């Protein structure tokens, strides 16, 4: 075979050495939830609540925890997006407003009733988190609209503009099949009557019966769910294997040439 012809084949083959087709996981259900109020985690886990300081003694922020081993993946090059799906469990006092979504690297703080985390009413940010659950990474501030019990809120966060530390933490967590925790807090401020201070957002926690017999129409309240969009580790393509074979042929021919 003509060497020039072989080189043209080689050039074309080398143009596609690897490929990595992106994917999206299925939804996994939270393994634990908690609403953190002035006195600590609520006594029941049927609600996930983010209530701003204008709600007085009911003020709270929420924690949702997931087991990443349930994604069924480990070979991941990047996590491109996170989608947190929350089902509204509205009460008569539900009020629209703004909430902050965070990832926290603290998986040690207990979420059990009687444990130490509390809503910090003097937190100047108004979120109530204070210095607890460190380190926290803000994903975004989003609007909560009270659309009625059973309404599903899909919050998708694209990670292209996040700090490298966020990507590193996510990759390490998934690779080790670890725990991933989210915080949902009122996007408050040091003043009052803001969209974060007034918000009263309530979603289903992990302990709601499905369907819930006490709600009109036996509405199904699904616990928090999570999916991720990701790019897998690139794999060597057929074109790459062909190019390596051609390189071997060329090297062998050159070696045999007198």
**Structure tokens that stand for 55 in this block:** 């709600």
Identify the segments of the chain with pLDDT beneath 70.
1-21, 91-92, 189-194, 209-219, 235-258
Give the pLDDT of residue 42.
95
Q: Angle, to 10 degrees, between the axis of helix 238-256 and the axis of helix 3-14? A: 150
Contact at 8 Å (CB) between 79 and 156?
no
Give the pLDDT of residue 130.
96
Give the pLDDT of residue 17.
47
CA 179, distance to chain mean position in Å, is 11
Give the C-alpha distances (Å, rounded to integers) separating 51 from 113, 146, 185, 215, 241: 18, 13, 7, 22, 57
């Amino acid at each position: 075979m003509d060497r020039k012809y072989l080189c043209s084949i080689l050039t074309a083959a080398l143009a596609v050495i690897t490929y990595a087709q992106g994917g999206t996981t299925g939804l996994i259900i939270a393994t634990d939830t908690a609403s953190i109020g002035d006195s600590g985690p609520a006594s029941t886990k049927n609600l996930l609540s983010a209530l701003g300081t204008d709600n007085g003694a009911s003020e709270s922020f929420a924690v949702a925890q997931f087991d990443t081993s349930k994604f069924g993946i480990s070979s991941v090059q990047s996590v491109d997006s996170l989608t947190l799906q929350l089902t509204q469990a509205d009460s008569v006092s539900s009020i629209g407003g703004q909430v902050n979504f965070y990832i926290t690297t603290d998986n040690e703080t207990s979420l059990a009733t009687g444990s130490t985390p509390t809503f910090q009413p003097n937190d100047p940010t108004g979120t109530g988190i204070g210095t607890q659950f460190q380190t926290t990474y803000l994903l975004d501030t989003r609007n909560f609209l009270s659309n009625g019990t059973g309404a599903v809120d899909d919050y998708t966060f694209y990670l292209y503009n996040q700090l490298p530390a966020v990507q590193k933490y996510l990759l390490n967590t998934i690779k080790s099949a670890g725990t991933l925790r989210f915080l949902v807090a009122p996007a408050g401020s040091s003043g009052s009557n803001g969209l974060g201070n007034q918000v009263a957002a309530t979603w289903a926690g992990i302990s709601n019966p499905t369907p819930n017999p006490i709600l009109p129409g036996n509405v199904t309240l699904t616990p928090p769910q999570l999916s991720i969009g990701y790019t897998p580790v690139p794999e060597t393509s057929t074109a790459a294997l062909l190019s390596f074979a051609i390189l071997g042929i060329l090297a062998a021919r050159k070696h045999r040439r007198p």
